[in-house]
A and B are shown apart, each in its own frame.
Chain A
Amino acid sequence: MPPGQPEDCSPDATALPEDPEDLSPGTAAERTRLAWERTAITFGVVGLVMLRDEPVAGLIVLAVTPLIWALARYVSAVPPPGAQARARRLLLVAVAVTGVAVVAAVAALLGHGGPVRLP
């Protein structure tokens, strides 16, 4: 298909579509895969920051990074993952981010100079 042409041949398809995804619907999956990879990279950055003062917590977060990266590969899978599988993957991300926040809060409270002292 020559560039600038809409994807279908309907009579109203002479003008450029307003939505770029109408021009090239495949880019939606690619952009979503890139969003997953950016999220995985962000996990890595958080892990590296935590590694500085809390090595154990940092390693735990770093271990999650390849998992999130692996999930990115399923976005462009053929056939696309079902609704339940998609919901499970997103729940996994939400649980991982919440877990990272809990680990960070514990590290902040118990770490060097923290207000909570263990007996």
Chain B
Amino acid sequence: MAGRAAAVRRCHHWCASTWQRGGGATNSHDEHRESQPGKPGEKEPDIRFTLANERTFLAWNRTALALVVAGLGIVQLLPPFPRVPWGRHVLGIPLIALGAIVSVTAYLEWRRTQTAMRRSEPVPQSVLPRILVGTITGVAALSAVVLLVSAVR
């Protein structure tokens, strides 16, 4: 097992040997895979990788909910910006929309990853970090604009 784990670390991207580790040994993970035959050429991965993929999905969804709360907090809890009545909505609504986008994208990425693991293919790169960084940077820039307009006008 330790040797296989070391081999996993050496593998540049996760590949067939990673998803199907356990080799020919009979254990509970293999029984799980064999009990769920998929399409031809597909095989359920080790349950631990399935669970890890699921945890990643759940973590992204908690991030999505945090974005929704942040957006709602900006709209409902912040006092209005002086001379910029639309300021709170301009900042809060993109965050709420990002929450919905992150959740839907996380599900699509969970499916893609699960399918890649079933086919013993490399896991596709996630687009979510880029979406998150882009939107949060945009909202930060927008915050600066709203604050400047509010102060200067």
A residues with a Cβ closer than 8 A to B are: 6-8, 10, 12-19, 21-22, 25, 28-29, 31-32, 35-36, 38-39, 42-43, 45-46, 49-50, 52-53, 75, 79-80, 82-83, 86-87, 90-91, 93-94, 97-98, 100-102, 104-105, 107-109, 111-115
Please judge, given known A-B contacts A19-B8, A101-B68, whether A28 and B47 are in contact too, CB under 8 Å.
yes
Please judge, given known A-B contacts A13-B2, A83-B38, whether A97 and B58 are in contact too, CB under 8 Å.
no
B residues with a Cβ closer than 8 A to A are: 1-3, 5-6, 8-9, 25, 29, 32, 35-36, 38, 44, 47-48, 50-52, 54-55, 57-59, 61-62, 64-66, 68-69, 71-73, 75-76, 80, 85-86, 88-89, 92-93, 96-97, 99-100, 103-104, 106-107, 110-111, 114
Chain B residues whose C-beta falls within 8 Å of the C-beta of A39 in the assembled complex: 58, 61-62, 65
Residue of A42, A53, A90 near B62 (CB, 8 A) is A42
Chain A residues whose C-beta falls within 8 Å of the C-beta of B107 in the assembled complex: 90-91, 93-94
In the bound assembly, the distance between CA atoms of A8 and B4 in angstroms comes to 12
User: Interface on chain A toward B: helix, strand, loop, or mixed SS?
Assistant: helix
Which residue of B is nearest A16, CB measured? B2
Most buried by A among B54, B57, B85, B92: B54
Residue of A18, A46, A113, A115 near B68 (CB, 8 A) is A46
Residue of A14, A43, A49, A102 near B72 (CB, 8 A) is A49
Pair B64/A17 contact, Cβ less than 8 Å: no
Pair B1/A22 contact, Cβ less than 8 Å: yes
Q: How far is the CB of A74 from chain B (nearest CB, A)?
A: 11
What would 20 more interface pairs be, CB under 8 Å, given A38-B58, A105-B97, A109-B89?
A: A6-B2, A18-B6, A19-B5, A25-B48, A32-B54, A39-B61, A45-B69, A49-B69, A49-B72, A50-B72, A80-B32, A93-B61, A93-B103, A97-B65, A98-B104, A100-B68, A105-B96, A108-B76, A113-B88, A115-B89
Q: How far is the CB of A51 from chain B (nearest CB, A)?
A: 11
Chain B residues whose C-beta falls within 8 Å of the C-beta of A53 in the assembled complex: 76
